Amino acid sequence: MAVTLRKSLKTIEDYKSTNPHYTDLLDILADILILREEYRKNMKDSIFRVEENLIAQKMEGGLPLIDIAGKQYDLSRPKQYFNSLISIAEKRMPEVGQSIVSFIKKEEFDWEKMIRASFDRREEEVQNDAQTEVLSPSNEDQENFDLIDLFTEESLRPELENVAEKYGALVEKAGWSEGYCPICGKEPKIGEIREGEDGKRYLFCHQCGFKWHFLRIKCPFCGNDEQHSLAYFAVEGEERHRVDVCNKCRRYIKIVELPKSSEELNLDVEDIATLHLDMIAYDEGYN
């Protein structure tokens, strides 16, 4: 069952009390969740069409349902949503918001190209290099770029979330075993383990909101299943959140450990509230 907006906003307020240094980002996320729900209420159907007769073949072949990098879609509706998201930054962090507006007005900024590149890792590296040249190296500008990245990802979320909800049950029955999302192909940043269910691990896709089962002793990024080269770490006093790392590819994923009886969590919120774990992972040489 999906986490309700009310519960998600309550969790955000709780985290603002315990992690006040994340207040600005959590406030932005709260506004995003409200705007996302409004978008979904006004949607009749997603702009992304699934070829239902090919679902079984795609799942067997390790191909996600939606191919955003390879197919052409009318992205005008997500582009309008992206502009609405920018207004959140202007409201919550006026100076940062103005900097973002100035940046996206630059000739070098291509929103649609950035969208497509984010679904193709080879193109994404080239695109990121090009955009980094536009930004000055200051920490403030890097923060602006991180928010642009967040808003760009979110701009497709309601449309892809609709697809995930519609076809999620079919995907689950197909036994998808890849480390990237079966709906849209994005790599996960966070997941969860529910004890009492044989310790099953589930990976979560921020791009479409889908969650799928994945082997616990296996790296989702390189497929390494050698236990001696897989590890995890946690911060003392925060054992519910941990970081699974692979010492072969040097990648990591954050994991929330939950008891079997625990209610569903909003993993978008959990991701923001555990950004310090990302920083620790980066410092340890993982990416």
- Over residues 140-192, the pLDDT tens digits come to 455 566 889 999 999 999 999 999 999 999 999 999 999 999 999 999 999 99
The b/e string for 79-103 (b: 16+ C-beta within 10 A; e otherwise) is eebbeebbebbeebbeebbebbeeb
Q: E strands, 106-224, where?
A: 190-194, 200-204, 211-214
Mean pLDDT value across the chain: 90
- Note the pTM of the prediction, 2 decimals: 0.91
Is 259 exposed, middle or buried, given 0-12, 13-18 or 19+ CB atoms closer than 10 A? exposed
Q: Which residues pair with 232 in a beta bridge?
A: 244
β-bridge pairing 241-246 and 252-258: antiparallel
Task: Round to whole Å and give the CA distance between 46 and 223.
Answer: 32
Domains present along the chain, CATH in parentheses: 5-158 (no CATH), 177-283 (3.90.1670.10)
pLDDT digits (tens, 9 = 90+) for 95-136: 888 888 988 888 788 999 989 888 885 444 444 444 443 333
Residue 227 pLDDT more than 50?
yes
* Look-up of token digits 């967040």: 150
Percent of the chain with pLDDT over 70: 90
Q: What is the edge-to-edge ordering of all strands in the sheet holding 190-194? A: 211-214, 200-204, 190-194, 252-258, 241-246, 230-233
Task: Round to whole Å and give the CA distance between 259 and 76.
Answer: 42
